[in-house]
Structure 1
Amino acid sequence: MKLDITARQIEIIEASGKILMNKGIAALTTKNLAQEMGFSESALYRHFKDKEAIVSLLIQYLADNINQRFEQILISNISEEEKYLALFKSQFQYFKKNPHFIVIVLSDGLMDSSEIIKNSIVKLIQTNAKSFKTVLENGQKASVFTSAIEADYLVHFIMGAFRLQMLKWKLANFSFDIEKNGMKTMATLLTLIKQ
């Protein structure tokens, strides 16, 4: 299902992501956002009812983007091993071009800000986990990935490794090539989970 969103809403949520990335959740105020956008606070309310709605749509926008990219990979006619790598390559390439969305991946502060935002983040995580679990289970059935560890636990390991890689990138002020380093990490993990 494609998200129903206007071009102006996309501009607002991208500006919100930049504020979150650079200054944190406390700095994401309607005043700061209006200043970043170059228009009045009242203009924001024509597009969103409040800050919570902005952050929630930001998460949904990211989830929709990930779902579209992942669906194309999951239906492609490549091996499960290639799908595993393609899912991560897609993620690293996207975040490399859009580092302001990294705050969603590293969202501890966001989860505490509201129940609606927390539920949006949980849904995003569950959706990502489902895609990875599909690839891993299919790979286990095809004797590509180890069956000694349940797919659910493998998902935890690989998503944890992905999150750690993104955290290291953010802490390094995005100074290294996340796609190159990230893919090396995920390929190494692939070696560990292969049959």
Structure 2
Amino acid sequence: MNKTSQGIGGSEADRRREFIEAALRIVQSEGLSSLSISRLASEVGVVPSALYRHFRSKEELLDAILGFVRENLREHFEDAVGHHFSALSALDELLNRHVNMIKAHGAIPRVLFSEEIVGDSRARRKVLGEIIREHVGRIAGLVKRGQDEGEIRKDLDPEAVALMFLGIVQPAAILWHTSEGEFDFTEYAKQAWRVFRESVTV
């Protein structure tokens, strides 16, 4: 059993993040149907009542996972832009971060497109749509900056380029997941990035 409790001892936010990461491990190894407050408590080595301070139900836990994804995407974008001067180099770094995030948390694509996320909960579907639109908007803004600086072709629609960029990740993540890691996600991303870059560069 992977005991997250061994690493517990930081802030409330740190503990909450550790619990969410443990929940993603459960989904990755056992499927979303196995995720529950009691199963999560067993995974992290605490009594269920200790988790109810953070998540009162599985529904709140799923909402927290969406929040985790949203925050990670925002952080990855800000870090990539903050560490790279050009738009294209920032996109390259962002792609690497996307690949690493999915490899570290392989359950994320499984959660985002599961029936429990996009099924009966209209509110959760709305949040998922907002997360995707926000990220597309950030990337489109970066593409527009690259166009203004003469690095990216100006005849391309920034949002279309942003969606094409994200399209590098999603099908590859599915192939990586369904092959149980045999599909070389990292190498594919490198090759796809080369094609993408050549298609958008001035």
Q: Please give the alpha-carbon distance, in whole angstroms, between the structure 2 residues aligned to 1:120 and 1:179.
A: 29
Q: Please give the alpha-carbon distance, in whole angstroms, between the structure 1 residues aligned to 2:93 and 2:25.
A: 27
CA shift digits 1:50-73 (9 cap, x unpaired): 112111112212222221221122
Q: What TM-score does the superposition give when structure 1 sets the normalisation length?
A: 0.83
CA shift digits 1:65-84 (9 cap, x unpaired): 22122112223452221111
Of 20, 28, 35, 1:28 maps to 35
Is 2:156 aligned against 1:141?
no
* Residues 66-145 of structure 1 mapped to structure 2, 5 A cutoff: 66-104=73-111, 106-109=112-115, 110-145=117-152
More displaced 10-residue stretch of structure 1: 89-98 or 151-160: 89-98
Q: Please give the alpha-carbon distance, in whole angstroms, between the structure 1 residues aligned to 2:159 and 2:97.
A: 21
Partner in structure 1 of residue 71 of structure 2: 64
Partner in structure 1 of residue 6 of structure 2: none
Instruction: Sort the Cα spacing of 1:108 and 1:159 in 2 relative to 1 into closer, same or farther, 3 A.
Output: farther
Q: Please give the alpha-carbon distance, in whole angstroms, between the structure 1 residues aligned to 2:179 and 2:165.
A: 21
Is 2:60 aligned against 1:53?
yes
Task: Tell me how far 1:131 sits from its aligned partner.
Answer: 2.1
Identical aligned residues as a percent: 19
The list of structure 1 runs, each at least 4 consecutive aligned residues, that deviate by more than 6 angstroms after superposition, is: none
* Unmatched tracts of structure 1, length 5 or more: none
Q: Please give the alpha-carbon distance, in whole angstroms, between the structure 2 residues aligned to 1:161 and 1:10.
A: 27
Q: Please give the alpha-carbon distance, in whole angstroms, between the structure 2 residues aligned to 1:6 and 1:147.
A: 42
Q: How many residues align?
A: 191
Task: Tell me how far 1:163 sits from its aligned partner.
Answer: 0.9
Task: Tell me how far 1:162 sits from its aligned partner.
Answer: 1.6
- Kindly indicate whether the alpha-carbon contact (under 8 Å) linking 1:17 and 1:103 is maintained by their aligned counterparts in 2: no
Is 2:49 aligned against 1:12?
no
Q: Which structure is higher in RCO with an 8 Å CA cutoff and minimum separation 6?
A: 1
Partner in structure 1 of residue 51 of structure 2: 44
Instruction: Sort the Cα spacing of 1:5 and 1:151 in 2 relative to 1 into closer, same or farther, 3 A.
Output: farther
- Kindly indicate whether the alpha-carbon contact (under 8 Å) linking 1:52 and 1:117 is maintained by their aligned counterparts in 2: no
Q: Please give the alpha-carbon distance, in whole angstroms, between the structure 2 residues aligned to 1:46 and 1:146.
A: 51
Is 2:200 aligned against 1:193?
yes
* Unmatched tracts of structure 2, length 5 or more: 1-10
Matched letter for residue 116 of structure 1: A
Instruction: Sort the Cα spacing of 1:170 and 1:113 in 2 relative to 1 into closer, same or farther, 3 A.
Output: farther
Partner in structure 2 of residue 154 of structure 1: 161
- Aligned-CA RMSD value: 2.4
Q: What TM-score does the superposition give when structure 2 sets the normalisation length?
A: 0.81
Q: Please give the alpha-carbon distance, in whole angstroms, between the structure 2 residues aligned to 1:108 and 1:191.
A: 34
Q: Please give the alpha-carbon distance, in whole angstroms, between the structure 2 residues aligned to 1:140 and 1:166.
A: 29
